[in-house]
Structure 1
Amino acid sequence: MAARCDIFFLCDIFTKLNDLNKLLQGNGKILIDCKPFITTFISKLVLYKTSISKRQFHQFPQLDSLKDELVHEDLTTYRSYLQSLHGKRLRKACETVFGHIKTMISYSGFLDKLTKNIAN
């Protein structure tokens, strides 16, 4: 039964990752457009972990259908996985990809101010 719960949990997580992936795709998308979607997803990982700790599975519809079969060890595993995603994997990837975003945003803001000053 534990394997079934694991599969349902992974189904829910991969659905969320697929939704994120769809938000990141499209013509004309640039790196700065994508950052809010990724940072929001990373923030939601804490919410997901907290919800699982409280046995509230409304963000996990597949897992919710098996909530009566879940044992403490399953929940501990899922929390650990979400913590790992939040704490290490996604953050490291975002630091790599978005490390230069602050500079780009500052430069963009500077150009916006400069353009407004020239227009006036």
Structure 2
Amino acid sequence: STEALIALEDLLPQLQLYLGDLGSDAQEEKRLRNLLEQLKVHGIVSEPDEHNRVAIRPIIAHLASPENLQSLLGAFQREASGGQQQGSSTGRPRDDSGEQSPEAPAAADGSNG
């Protein structure tokens, strides 16, 4: 399988875009490394190599639907804002678990019928 290699310095702007800027490069890098360590436990990313690059397993892109990724992004954004945000930018209601309800139920086989 092919893994995507990405430098930590290339991930930092994406992290800042979605989670906000802490204002300190050292704090930003520490936050990024902590998040990557959590993902590494689940086998999603590798340990940073000698060039400060991590390998990202492509399986997440194949298995995650756009709706699931949007919900995950919303959860990250709520965490970044201290969990104070109750609604979402999509305006969709949340179920009892705090997850956004899908706009329309999807069939288990991915078809609409």
Is this a same-fold pair by TM over 0.5?
no
Structure with the largest fraction of helix: 1
Between the two structures, name the one with larger relative contact order (CA 8 Å, sep ≥ 6). 1
- Structure having the higher Rg: 1
Give the TM-score taking structure 1 as reference length. Answer: 0.28
Give the TM-score normalised by structure 2: 0.29
